[in-house]
Amino acid sequence: MNTYKDVLLNRLHTTINHKNEIENDCIKFLSYDITIEPKIVQIEKKNSILCTVYFYVKAPLFENVFFESSSSIASDEYKAIELSSDNFVYCSLQGILDFLSGIHHHEIEASILGNKKIFTVCESPMLGLGNIENKEDFYDDYVGFDEKNGYSSFLWNAIYKEVPFILSNNRVSFIKTYGAKMPNGDIVVECTINNIQNKTLENCVQNEIIKWDNNGEFFSIKQFFFILQSDTTYMKYPYTKEEIEYFVIEYVLEFEKLNFNYSLFINNVKDIIKDCNIREEIINFIPEICAEYAFKDVIFDDRADVNVGNNHYNILKTQFTSYKYIEDALIDGFSNKIFKKESFNELVHLSNSYNIIYEAMQNNHNIKMNDIFVSITFNFTDEYQFI
């Protein structure tokens, strides 16, 4: 009898319209250098069967692993597994294959700290589930082709104005958009860029889904956007995640070695991290990241004001390539007890966020943490160059 994993792998193998083989519990393409690793993470048996499958896709062009979670409900386990597989194949995977074959539907320009960036966008097919009144009119209104904008879907129309302001310097970025309206009118949205939640995109999608008339029935829609930065503007980030982790560890250990004497530490850190660009990023980011973890109930702005010499910008923190790497390195360092416990508090006290929160509490002793909003500024020298 086939195991659940066998059913999933065989379904992928037979429904993918490209030559592939099953190898080490993965699907490997023969015509593309693509590997799909599927994992069944949930099979819940109630009145019907709920199945959730995670899909991890690797390709040489991708700097990050593409991740998708696909869920389905069916009358038995095998049917639920097959539906989850099909939803992945006919939506996100088809988008990946179109993208890698060179198809694109849009061109956009962005500016990150004054650096011009050019991108092309490939849309995946849309996946709609459930019922919505006048569904045909819905698709006619929001999916089509015109001479000015080319192919344009409902979900792209909902988010495209915000996309230039959230893209980073990645060669490839993945945007996921999902919206659902429940029978009682409740709305659920999920939007991510490179697997990180993005509230701006979620607000855009929610504002469109509010308009749906689902006539008291469930309806959902999902689509992916695969974004490629032009060779003319792309600059490869000079450090790997592992190298950033090494810099972070050396930074914190040196801070501890000097008994948290910040003035002395700042003079010494140039010898620890010689690259001024990553050094300035680490100095700016580490205290603020620690503060966000220290005050989990406080509302922190996803965007930051950035001063580079006399130039002023406002961008998402995650548009800095190193930001997430530094965050992950700090979490690992404290979780694995590489750093002392007291180092965390010392770093928090160096942050601008701590000063903002402290001042808010001093001015209003009755204020609640979730009433405090923190927006911070990062300061860089004239020598700093964004990559």
Burial class of residue 53 in the structure, from the number of CB atoms within 10 Å of its CB (0-12 exposed, 13-18 middle, 19+ buried):
buried
Please state, as a whole number, how many other Cβ atoms lie within 10 Å of the Cβ of residue 40.
19
Nearest CA-CA partner of 226 in 93, 33, 69, 387: 93
pLDDT for the residue numbered 215: 78
Where are the alpha helices (H) located in 231-386, listed in sequence order?
241-257, 262-272, 276-294, 321-335, 341-349, 352-363
pLDDT for the residue numbered 88: 96
pLDDT for the residue numbered 47: 84
Say if CB 166 and CB 197 are below 8 A apart: no
In this prediction, the residues of the chain whose per-residue pLDDT falls under 70 are: 1, 131-152
pLDDT tens column, 16-56: 999 999 999 999 999 889 999 999 999 988 888 999 999 99
pLDDT for the residue numbered 357: 95
pLDDT for the residue numbered 151: 55
Residue with tokens 């000063």: 355
pLDDT for the residue numbered 64: 86
pLDDT for the residue numbered 166: 94
pLDDT for the residue numbered 137: 45
pLDDT for the residue numbered 147: 44
Distance CA 139, CA 150 (A): 16
Say if CB 51 and CB 86 are below 8 A apart: no
pLDDT tens column, 140-186: 444 444 444 455 688 999 999 999 999 999 999 999 999 999 999 89
